[in-house]
Every structure is written in C-alpha cells, then in structure tokens.
Structure 1
Amino acid sequence: MTDIIMENLLSPVVLFFVLGIVAALFKSDLKIPHGLSEGLSIYLLIAIGLKGGIELSHYSLESVIGPILGAIFLGIIIPIITLFILKFINMDLKNSIGLAATYGSISIVTYGAAVSFLESNSISYEGFMNALVALMESPAILVSLLMLKVVENKDNISGNSTQRVGFISQPLQLIDKRVVKESIFGKSILLLMGSLLIGIILGESAVPMVKPLFIDLYNSVLILFLLNMGIITGQRLPEVKKHGVKLLLFGLTTPLLFGTLGVLVGNLVGLSLGGATLMGVLAGSASYIAAPAALKTSVPEANPSIYLGLALGVTFPFNLIIGIPMYYEIAKWF
C-alpha cells in the first residue's frame, strides 16, 4: 500500500496541487484568473458528463439500476450520519446542516483524480460510474435542508402552542422552490446531467467530435484545475485551524468512514474493484461547488469558512494524497 500512496503522491496532479498550496502559504502572487478558473470547472463537468453518458449508452437499465440505487442511498444516509456525529462535538444546527450537505454531496475533482489514478495503474471500472457523479450531487443537499426545516418547525411548534394549529391547518412547506432550483438546476448539476443526457442520446457517434478536447486533454486540464485548487486550499487552511481539533479530526476521519461505507455499498451492488473504489471516493469526498452554492442562499447563517474550509483545506488534500489509494486497498480487501 505504501508504494501505491507514494505513486499517487508523485503523480503530476498531486504535485501541482501541492505547488498551489505552497504558493498560497508563502503569499506568492501566483493566481489563476477567475474567468479561466470558471472555464476549467465547466470543462471538467462537461468532460465527466459526456464520458459517463457515452459509456452509459452501452448498458441496459437492468444492469445499472443497482448501482444507481446504491448511489442514491449513500446520498441520503451520509448527511444523516454526519448530523449524528456533529451532535457529539456540540456543533450548532446551521453549521451542522452546512457540513451535512457538504460531506453528503461529492467532489467532482476528487473523482476525476481517482479516475486518473485508476487509469494510470491500468485498473478498469464501469463506464457508467461517471453517471453516478451527477446522481450523488443533489440528494444530500435536499436531505440536509429537509432535516433543517423539520427541526426548525419542531422547535417552533414545541416553543409556541399557538403555532400547532397553523401547522395542522396548513401544509408544511419543508423546502422552498429556490432550494430545489439551486440543487437541481445549479451550474454543476445542470452541466453534468445535460452532458450525460447528450452522451446517452448520441452514444459512440459523439466520440469523433468530443475525443480530441474532452477525452484526450482531460488529465492535462485537470492539472491546471488542481493548481488553482491548491492555491484556494492554502488560503483556506488558516480558517480551519480557528475551529479546533475536533473539527479537524472530523475532516480527517469521516472520509475514511464514508469511503469505507461507499466501497461496501459498491460491492453489494456488484461493482468491480475499480467501480467499488470510485464509489468509495464519491462517498468519502466533500462538495465545494454544488453544496456551497445551495447553502449560500438556503442557510446563509452557516459559516462558509467551516464547511468550505474543512472540505477544501482538510478533506480534499487528504483524499487526493492518501484517501484514494486507501479506498482502493479497502476495495481489494472486500
């Protein structure tokens, strides 16, 4: 396992990520222009969606329904487990919801790095795994916000008996339309799902046109993106330290817990070694695109330096350097 970790550490994507962290910590003037950063994000979302859709076009519904249900299950159960864990470290409700949504959703860049890791080690995986990326983005966000509304309304009802009448007489609006719109039609999910559907519809006929840009150049673009993520991570690290050791341990241990759960679910639904590894990576990663976008409008009281700082400053580098090869070894053990 040490050899695999070292090989992952010495890969271009990880080394450029570390270079970005070093640049931020030493206050270098190195920065990726905002427009280019946005462009790189859009590129990765389209590339992963297209590849997933083209591969998914080769499979029947019967062969993918198990992994799809497994992915949705993980998207629902992980935020619930996260809230129980945070209750024991006395995290307040709003920030707990922020972390539940962030850790229940997934990191598309961590997934991309895991794909690169598998391909560099000649480990095959199911092509439809790219489709599961899109499926695991929204459920955790919706479940987390639903739990927030349930708890808030429960507290309001118990605190004011006159509200009980209104609660009974009027249907409870658990999640408003803005939340649903942010979770389903936000940039990341819209691009993923849209590219996925285009890939499914066109199938192999799309390959000649998309291969030169979205397949052949994928790993090279990922390097640029991770350089930028390293800079952002280095800037976020001081914010994480402000919130104590317990939160730091949460960011380091929960990826292993959820990643192991993801590998187990992947095995139960019949995925290959590579597929189960990717399911573990998805379950063990934390979102810093879709979840923060939804939280910004739906739970403005949640502190971004906690859920973004922990996801980017602790869990993302942990997964990139150690987590991915560990999930692979866990999958091999299972």
Structure 2
Amino acid sequence: MHLDVIVAFFLLGALAQIAKAPIKMPNGLYQSLTIFLLIAIGLKGGIALGQYGSIDLLWQSLLVIVFGAFLPLIAFPLLLKFGGLSRVDSASIAAHYGSVSIATFAVALAVLEAQEISYEPYFPLFVALLEIPAIAVGLWLARDKTQVLDLKKTLHEIFLNQGVLLLTGALLVGWWAGDQSQKLMPFFGNLFYGVLALFLLEMGRVSASRLQLLRQYGAFIASFGVIMPLIGATLGALFAPLLQLSAGGTILLATLGGSASYIAVPAAMAVALPKANQGLSITSSLAITFPFNVLVGIPLYSALIIEVMV
C-alpha cells in the first residue's frame, strides 16, 4: 500500500514526539488549522450541494443519520460486556465511535484526489449529519435516573460546537453563494493540502504523546481502537449501495464509519456525562484509532473497495 505524502507528515510528528524533539505548535496555530480545514471542506461541499442537490439527497441524508445512530449500538455492548467498562464510560466511548473525525475525512479526501478517484462532491453534508445522532444515542445508552441532565448546555454542545457549527455554516455559505464562492477558493482550495500537512504534523505528535496512557487503560482499549474501526468501515462499505454511492463515495463512507470523534463528542460528553472518563475516550480515538486509520485503514479500505467495485 502506497504511503501518501500527506500521511508522511503525520509520521514525522509522531517520530519527533517519540524522539522528544521540540516541535509543538502554538495552540493558536493548531486551532487556526482546525478552523481552516472545517471551513474549506464545508465550503467545497456547499458549492457542490448547490450544483448537484436533488430530492434523492434527502433520503440519502436520512439513511446517513440512521447509519450514524446505529454505530454506537454496535460499540456499546463490546465495551460493556467484553471490556468490563461502566455503563457511562461505555456509552461515552460508543458515542465517539458513532461520530466522525473531520481530520480522518480530510486525509481520505486527499488520498482520493491524489489517486484521481472521483466521489460525490456533496459528501461534507454527510459528515455534518454524522456528528449529531451518535451523541444522542450515547446519552440514551448512558441514561441514569440518578443523573440530572443539563439539557440546555447539552444541546448547545451538540449543535453549536466548533466542528458542527463551522462545517455546517461553511456548507450553507457555499450552497447559498454558489459561483460567488469561487473567489475564496484560491485560499481555501489551493492551500488545503499544505494546511492539512501542518495539521497532521501536530496530530502525529499529539497521538504519540498519548501512547503511554495505554499502560493505564490496558490492552482492551488498544484492541477496541483497531477492531471497532474495522467493524465500522465494513458496515459503511456494506451500507453504501443503499445510497447508490460511487467507489470513491463508498471509500469515504467506510472511512467515516471507521473513524472516531476527538473534538465534537468530547465537548458534548464533558457537559452531558461529567462522570465519564474522558481520558479513556480520547486515548482510544486519538492515540489508537486515528493513527490506525491514517496509516493502515484508509489505504486498506481504498484498496479493497477499488478491487471489488472497479
């Protein structure tokens, strides 16, 4: 499997952290890179939505929401029964794995475009939709009569967190502005790969810095962080024909199914489930699943799906 040049920067960041080389980015720059990627992906998807949107997209969107709600129902019993975790921790981690990683999606886009594999250009709409249902299902799975849910704060974190707000907002701006959005693309389009490379450089460092926590959380979390992405990606690939997706779209849905949130869901769960061990969730999604998908998962999903469909 070919290693994409973008992914090489992730490895560089991880190796630098392991070697204790001081390359940590300022927090402000890291936040700026995140905001750039969210807007760039959303804007591009919004432009495509205005060009290709149809009534068929409505039922596709509904099926995507169902898919996102189903994934936590798979992860939860694995964590509860096999992992021996508490109900609240199992529900919190399951919500992370029902939601998506915008960075993983960005890497998948870069890989597809580098290989000149076409995909449905309105896919960022599905990314935005997949951020929300998993959180709702996670809260339902964690239901506890003794715990009082701050509904206002929880809804705020679900619908107005940075990831959902910027991705959805940029998508709507791109859809509304149409051709006018093209004047922004020299910035958000041409610089996309360079910004993604810088982002992955920092993500490699952050992921490697959390590997030591696996000694605390045990082998099960390490195993789950690999097995669940494979399950989610398989379900995504099997679900794709219902949406009549191309080979590229199938790869993207498999990637989203195999990814895990480390931005939107942690913020929501910190408010809604304060008793949950957030370090456990972040370590699994960021230290295990994200590197696995970037280094192994995306090339594997791509190769298998192209072999079957092309």
Q: TM-score, normalised by structure 1?
A: 0.88
Larger Rg computed on CA atoms? 1
CA contact (8 A) 2:149 2:272 kept: no
Give the 3-state SS of the residue equivalent to 1:242 in structure 2: helix
Partner of 1:163: none
Distance 2:28 2:218 in 1: 34
Return the match for 2:203 from 229, 239, 251: 229
Distance 2:79 2:161 in 1: 27
What CA RMSD, in Å, does the superposition of the two structures yield over aligned residues? 1.6
Instruction: Describe how 1:108-187 pairs up with structure 2 within 5 A.
Output: 108-149=102-143, 152-153=144-145, 176-187=151-162
Q: What do residues 211-267 of structure 1 show as CA deviations (whole Å, max 9, x unaligned)? A: 111111101100000001011101111112322222211111110110110111112
CA contact (8 A) 1:179 1:298 kept: yes
Q: How far did 1:194 drift?
A: 0.6
Instruction: Please tell me the residue identity of whatever aligns with 1:45.
Output: L
Return the match for 1:219 from 193, 199, 202: 193
User: Relative to structure 1, is the Cα distance of residues 174 and 59 closer, same or farther in structure 2, using a 3 angstrom cutoff?
Assistant: farther
CA contact (8 A) 1:37 1:225 kept: yes
Return the match for 1:41 from 26, 30, 34: 34
- The alignment covers a number of residue pairs equal to 307
Partner of 1:192: 167
Partner of 2:247: 273
Give the 3-state SS of the residue equivalent to 2:142 in structure 1: helix
Q: How far did 1:173 drift?
A: 8.1
Instruction: Please tell me the residue identity of whatever aligns with 1:296.
Output: A
Instruction: Describe how 1:252-267 pairs up with structure 2 within 5 A.
Output: 252-267=226-241
Partner of 1:167: none
Return the match for 1:292 from 266, 281, 286: 266
Give the 3-state SS of the residue equivalent to 1:268 in structure 2: helix
Structure 1 regions of 5+ residues with no counterpart?
157-171
Q: How far did 1:65 drift?
A: 2.3
Q: How far did 1:282 drift?
A: 0.7
Q: What do residues 50-80 of structure 1 show as CA deviations (whole Å, max 9, x unaligned)? A: 0010001112332312331221012100111
Partner of 2:93: 99
Partner of 1:160: none
Give the 3-state SS of the residue equivalent to 2:51 in structure 1: coil
Q: Work out the percentage of aligned pairs sharing the same amino acid.
A: 39
Partner of 1:303: 277
CA contact (8 A) 1:17 1:227 kept: yes
Distance 2:255 2:117 in 1: 15
Q: How far did 1:331 drift?
A: 2.6
Distance 1:66 1:275 in 2: 16
Structure 2 regions of 5+ residues with no counterpart?
none
Q: What do residues 273-315 of structure 1 show as CA deviations (whole Å, max 9, x unaligned)? A: 0001101111110001101111122212222221101111110
- For the pair 1:58 / 2:51, whether they are aligned, the reply is yes
